[in-house]
Amino acid sequence: MMQSYYINAFLGAGLTIIFIFIDYIRKYNTDRSQRRLFLAVLAAAFAAVVSDCASHVFAGMPGPAVHYGLYGILSFFLVVQNFAFYLMFVFIDYFAYRDWERTKKILKVLAVIMALYIAAVLANLPLRYFFYISGDNYYTPAKLYLLRLFISYFPLVLSFFEVIGSSAQFKQSQIVSIVFFGILTGTGAGLDVMLKNSCLIWPCFAASLLYIYFFIVQSDSKLDSLTGLGNRFSFNEFIDRLSRAGSKESYSIVMIDMDHFKAINDTLGHLEGDNALRDMALIIKSCVRGTDFAARYGGDEFILAVKSEYNVEKLMERIRQAIDNQNEKGKRPYRLEMSYGWDIFTTGLSSGSASIENFLDHVDKLMYQNKMAKKNAVL
């Protein structure tokens, strides 16, 4: 009876992970680093589900082969379970910062921790301080069982403090997703510890992965595939939400155009043109606040939306300074330059698609005037 319960619990979790993996592997994800991390989490979680299920299915069966087989299965489970939880923490950190260099440093630390943990699990086979298999072939916790639990579930606690300590790096929707993941997974883990034989951690973990996967798919549809900023669709959605707002809110809308972008493409090739767009996007990301909106509007144009109480000229000065700093380093065969125009959009006063289009056309003309003024100043 209990074996049927275990199989049903693990089957549901395993199938959920398989369906997510199959669907995600077929999709084009704009962020390859995020894609690799999430697929690694799915693979580790599936391996953990299968090995945990096998340990429960074979538990209590007679014979020395089962006895030694359970040691191997459970040792493998302890390793891949930790891979799933620790990689999930790395994924959440990357989810917040989108900084692959930072992520590589975390992965190096993780590699050391996992190497030490694998050595500890292997040493458990003769020393039996984490667990041992009883004479009737059942898993039995040993004296360092609580330490093993702490090592395994520490990433969940770490993820919670990551959200609290780096809340400025997260969007509200990301915080909701991560908090939901932590609550659901933590509840399953807590019930497993208290009830010992509940096997709820993996159904809860799989449900959490499914929720985050839906968030990823929804987010990817609103991202520009080259720069990782919002795309035209996300901006249209944002501006439509503003236009339909019941209360009056004012935003400074900034249109940015990269100067001499065609020359970069024509003389250096489209690969360097793409690099220039990515560089510009990275500079914008590094300068805007979490409450600001940034998107690639199309071609070499970017658009920002900043609440009017913030000084938009200070923001543009930060972007100009960041561009100058990059140009001074001379690491690229081109120089980044920009022109921009901006004005204030107030919800409630400007409504309807025609009014929004007129407003954006107005801002675009201001940007073009800025571009022409710079050209005339050079002549």
Closest C-alpha to 258, from 169, 355, 332, 329: 332
232-266 pLDDT per residue, tens: 888 888 877 776 666 677 889 999 999 999 999 99
18-30 pLDDT per residue, tens: 998 988 887 665 5
Q: 143 and 119 in one domain?
A: yes
Residue 225 lies in a domain: no
Please report which confidence band the pLDDT of residue 5 belongs to, taking 50, 70 and 90 as the band edges. Answer: low
Whole-angstrom CA distances from 266 to 93, 241, 260 are 39, 38, 10
Residue 148 lies in a domain: yes
| Residue that finishes a domain, picked among 177, 192, 220 | 220
Residue 250 lies in a domain: yes
| Residue that finishes a domain, picked among 220, 251, 267 | 220
Q: 182 and 153 in one domain?
A: yes
Q: 242 and 209 in one domain?
A: no
Kind of pairing, strands 131-133 and 139-141?
antiparallel
| Residue that finishes a domain, picked among 191, 220, 249 | 220
Query: Which structural domain, as residue segments, surrounds residue 345?
Result: 232-378
Q: 238 and 212 in one domain?
A: no
Q: 43 and 154 in one domain?
A: yes
Range in 76-85, 195-204, 308-317, 358-367 with the lowest mean pLDDT: 195-204
Could you tell me what percent of the chain has a pLDDT over 90?
A: 45
Q: Which residue has the higher pLDDT, 325 or 211?
A: 325
Range in 59-68, 83-92, 96-105, 236-245 with the lowest mean pLDDT: 236-245
3-state secondary structure the chain: CHHHHHHHHHHHHHHHHHHHHHHHHCCCCCCHHHHHHHHHHHHHHHHHHHHHHHHHHHCCCCCHHHHHHHHHHHHHHHHHHHHHHHHHHHHHHHHHHCCHHHHHHHHHHHHHHHHHHHHHHHHHHHHCCCEEECCCCCEEECCCHHHHHHHHHHHHHHHHHHHHHCHHHCCHHHHHHHHHHHHHHHHHHHHHHHHCCCCCHHHHHHHHHHHHHHHHHHHHCCECCCCCCECHHHHHHHHHHHHCCCCCCEEEEEEEEECCHHHHHHHHCHHHHHHHHHHHHHHHHHHCCCCCEEEEEECCEEEEEEECCCCHHHHHHHHHHHHHHHHHHCCCCCCCCEEEEEEEEEECCECCHHHHHHHHHHHHHHHHHHHHHHHHHHC
Tally of structural domains, the chain = 2
Note the pTM of the prediction, 2 decimals: 0.64
Please report which confidence band the pLDDT of residue 1 belongs to, taking 50, 70 and 90 as the band edges. Answer: very low
Q: 373 and 288 in one domain?
A: yes
Q: Which pair of tokens denotes residue 156?
A: 């969940």
Q: 342 and 270 in one domain?
A: yes
Residue 211 lies in a domain: yes
Range in 81-95, 223-237, 264-278, 309-323 with the lowest mean pLDDT: 223-237
Q: 365 and 239 in one domain?
A: yes
Q: 246 and 158 in one domain?
A: no
Residue 226 lies in a domain: no
Give the domain CATH number at 216: 1.20.1070.10
Q: Which pair of tokens denotes residue 246?
A: 């019941």
46-69 pLDDT per residue, tens: 999 999 889 888 988 999 999 999
Q: 236 and 216 in one domain?
A: no
Q: 250 and 212 in one domain?
A: no
Give the pLDDT confidence score for residue 225 in this predicted structure.
75
Give the domain CATH number at 239: 3.30.70.270
Residue 324 lies in a domain: yes
Q: 326 and 280 in one domain?
A: yes
